[in-house]
């Protein structure tokens, strides 16, 4: 599918605000990819498609799992905040025709992250929270670190922001996020 068709089709999945966010993430991802010497075409596509499942209702998650043979753990089953990234990777594959495993994996892990992500996964994780429409305390610092090319430190900062935000909401934290934070903390400290 052509990129322009993808962007048009995305309107069937997302309200305008989230559609704009997706294009902003794609733009931020291209910038980071160029900075890191990563494939900017893949970064752009992953950014465009990362949130396709954001508006799938909890009651409909089961039917997607049956349709595409998706396995979710117990926490993911209860939370669309967690499952939308996993469902999104299948929607990208089966409804947008993406077969590149790196793109699919970057979409899959954009909410929880995981330890030892590859560069594209790291780029999408960070691009999601530094895109131009984001405005929260600390976003400028995070943008600056990310655009300085210290992607490991940017991932760590983004993870710590995410963990604190989940705690403030009194929501459960996925273990993958904690493991990712410990991994990137050790990596940054070891530099």
Query: By CB under 5 A, which span of 4-12, 29-37, 48-56, 139-147 interacts with Fe ion?
Result: 48-56
Does residue 106 contact residue 32 with C-beta atoms inside 8 Å? no
Q: Which is nearer to Fe ion, 22 or 40 (CB)?
A: 22
* DSSP of 43-111: HHHHHHHTTTTTT--HHHHHHHHHHHT----HHHHH-HHHHHHHHHHHHHHHHS----HHHHHHHHTTT
Give 108: exposed, middle or buried? Use CB within 10 Å, 0-12, 13-18, 19+. Answer: buried
Q: Which residue do the tokens 């600390």 mark?
A: 138
Q: Which of residues 113-132 bind Fe ion (CB under 5 A)?
A: 128
Among residues 109, 137, 119, 107, which one has the least CA distance to residue 26? 107
Among residues 73, 175, 160, 37, which one has the least CA distance to residue 115? 175
- Minimum Å distance from CB 50 to Fe ion? 6
The residue from 32, 45, 51, 162 that contacts Fe ion (CB under 5 A) is 51
- Minimum Å distance from CB 56 to Fe ion? 11
Q: Which is nearer to Fe ion, 50 or 181 (CB)?
A: 50
Say which residues have a Cβ less than 8 Å from residue 63's Cβ, sequence separation at least 6.
none
- Minimum Å distance from CB 187 to Fe ion? 24
The answer to whether 44 contacts Fe ion (rule: CB under 5 A) is no
Query: By CB under 5 A, which span of 3-11, 47-55, 97-105, 152-160 interacts with Fe ion?
Result: 47-55
- Minimum Å distance from CB 85 to Fe ion? 6
- Minimum Å distance from CB 133 to Fe ion? 10
Query: By CB under 5 A, which span of 46-54, 73-81, 113-121, 175-183 interacts with Fe ion?
Result: 46-54
Q: Which residues make up the interface to Fe ion (CB under 5 A)?
A: 51, 128
């Amino acid at each position: 599918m052509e990129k322009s068709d993808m962007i048009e089709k995305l309107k069937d999945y997302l309200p305008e605000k989230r559609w704009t966010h997706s294009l902003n993430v794609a733009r931020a991802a291209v910038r980071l990819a160029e900075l890191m010497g990563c494939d900017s075409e893949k970064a752009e596509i992953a950014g465009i498609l990362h949130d396709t499942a954001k508006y799938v209702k909890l009651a409909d998650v089961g039917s997607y799992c049956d349709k595409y043979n998706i396995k979710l753990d117990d926490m993911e089953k209860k939370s669309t905040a967690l499952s939308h990234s996993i469902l999104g990777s299948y929607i990208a594959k089966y409804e947008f025709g993406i077969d590149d495993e790196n793109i699919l994996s970057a979409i899959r892990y954009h909410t929880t992250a995981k330890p030892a992500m590859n560069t594209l996964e790291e780029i999408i994780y960070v691009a999601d929270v530094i895109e131009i429409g984001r405005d929260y305390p600390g976003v400028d610092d995070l943008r600056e670190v990310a655009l300085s090319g210290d992607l490991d430190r940017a991932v760590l900062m983004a993870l710590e922001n995410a963990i604190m935000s989940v705690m403030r909401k009194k929501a459960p934290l996925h273990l993958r996020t904690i493991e990712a934070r410990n991994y990137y903390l050790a990596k940054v400290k070891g530099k």
